[in-house]
Amino acid sequence: MRWLSDNALERLREAAEWPDLAGTRYEAIEQIGQGGMATVFRVRDTVLDRMCAMKLLRLPDDTTGIGPRLRLESRILADLEHPGIVPVHDAGELPDGRPFYVMKFVRGQRLDDVVHDGVDLAERLRIFERVCEAVAFAHSRGIIHRDLKPENVMTGEYGEVLVLDWGVARVLVDRDGGDAESDAAHDVAAEADRPVTRHGTVLGTPGYMAPEQASGETGEIGPAADVFALGGILWFLLSGEHPLADSTDYMPPVSVAVPPRLIAISQKAMAPVPSDRYASVDLLSADIRRFLEGNAVGAYRETLWDRLGRLARRHRVAILLVLAYLLLRVVLIFFDRR
């Protein structure tokens, strides 16, 4: 008996995952991403002659029950019409039975690459505000992302900021404001969320998962879990370092100077107890806005010197003009007396 080499097995696996798009309007170009449950391909829409991204189940034989969650993800995205959330164009099922959905193909950089490219602090914080806007909108629709991290944020070539990968999102209320878990739209929610996110199942990324999420207590996971993850993203934007997992102090030592007010904002967002965090994403974003505007932030208790320093930075142009004027007066007085 001849055994197949590792390379041959890898080629067979890739061939099995490559989608058969016969009978659809799409043509597969290349694989651009892969996760535990799904693969993303760049495809061409042959009708509109444009590039799109197609997300589909990795293998036709869905023994994990992930298929319903992928369908749910497409319906969640279809409901989240917002400039900061990638739009869905189409959804369906391939000839081999794999569910798929088609979305905008985003040209740009992941947020972790943006940080390492040396974008200045003010621009990083403005990007963070845009991320908060998208997440706050999702929360207003009763949807929790549950896997926010720099790798799931893209900055487009025209300045757009998009939150991606809603594959483990949780739907808390339906579109009409009911309290059933979920709009998941009726039978899809029941089919998708229960087997995949049953009690004790941990979904998310270490370092960005809130303690209640890491413990597997799915019934305790709400908007505060996303606030925690946003605090982790903020820390990454400030320091270039991922938050620590399994620690009461999530912020590792860094070699860069981080403004204390921003450290306090990140710490408040990442408080271990949900009630100690910002009560909403909007409040977190508001503190960032206050920092950018040179105002006091709610998460940081200023000393007198802190306040004087902040006011000096905020009004430094006016202060420099006054100092220049006073210096000029001193010079004139000096020469008048000679």
Query: Which has more pLDDT, 133 or 35?
Result: 133
Mean pLDDT (whole number) for 37-66: 85
User: Among residues 58, 74, 105, which one ends one of the domains?
Assistant: 105
Together in a domain, 91 and 124: no
DSSP assignment of 191-237, as one string? HHHHHHS-TT---S-TTTS-HHHHTT-GGG-SHHHHHHHHHHHHHHH
pLDDT-wise least confident of 102-111, 198-207, 245-254: 198-207
Residue 158 belongs to a domain: yes
Is 215 part of a structural domain of the chain? yes
Residue 253, Ramachandran bin (φ over 0: left; ψ between -120 and 50: alpha; else beta)? beta
Which CATH number goes with the domain that contains 242? 1.10.510.10
- Decide if pLDDT at 145 tops 70: yes
CA 12 distance to own-chain centroid? 34
CA dihedral 80, 187, 102, 97 (to 10 degrees): 170
37 contact partners, CB below 8 Å, separation of at least 6: 57, 58, 64, 66, 69, 70, 167
- Regarding whether 86 and 23 lie in a shared domain, the answer is yes
Instruction: State whether 23 and 64 are in the same domain.
Output: yes
Quote the number of domains for the chain: 3
Specify whether 264 is located in the same domain as 322. no
The pLDDT tens digits for 209-259 are: 999 998 876 667 899 999 999 999 999 999 888 988 766 677 777 767 888
d(CA 334, CA 193): 80
Q: Is residue 146 part of a domain?
A: yes
Segments forming the whole domain that contains residue 38 = 13-105
Q: Is the pLDDT of residue 193 over 60?
A: no
In this predicted structure, which of 103-117, 149-163, 246-260 has the lowest mean pLDDT? 246-260
> What string of DSSP letters covers 136-183?
HHHHHTTEE-S---GGGEEEETTS-EEE---TT-EE-S-TTS--SS-T
Residue 314: band (very low, low, confident or very high) from pLDDT cuts 50, 70, 90: low
Residue 196: what pLDDT? 40
* Residue 85 belongs to domain with CATH number: 3.30.200.20
276 residue type, one letter? D
Q: What are the tokens at 254? A: 């860094």
Q: Tell whether 100 and 120 lie within a shared domain.
A: no
Say if 36 falls within a structural domain.
yes
In a domain, 7, yes or no: no
For residue 238, report the phi and psi dihedrals to the nearest 5 degrees: -80, -40
Whether residues 291 and 314 share a domain: the answer is no
- Decide: helix, strand or coil at residue 107: coil
Q: Supply the pLDDT for residue 186.
A: 37
Whether residue 156 is found in the same domain as residue 265: yes
User: Last residue of some domain: 71, 105, 139?
Assistant: 105
Residue 72 shares a structural domain with residue 174: no
Which one of the listed residues 45, 79, 147, 226 is annotated catalytic? 147
Residue 185 Cα to chain centre, angstroms: 24
Q: State the pLDDT confidence band at 200, using cuts at 50, 70 and 90.
A: very low
Name the token pair of 265: 């904002």
Residues 95, 45 within the same domain: yes
Q: Encoding tokens for residue 199? A: 């009690």
51 lies in the same domain as 123: no
Q: Are 113 and 207 contained in the same domain? A: yes
Q: Is residue 284 part of a domain?
A: yes
Q: Which helix (H) or strand (E) segment is 264 a member of?
A: helix 260-269
Residue 127 lies in a domain: yes
2: in domain = no
Both 297 and 309 in one domain: the answer is: no
- Mean pLDDT score of the chain: 81
The answer to whether 147 is a known catalytic residue is yes
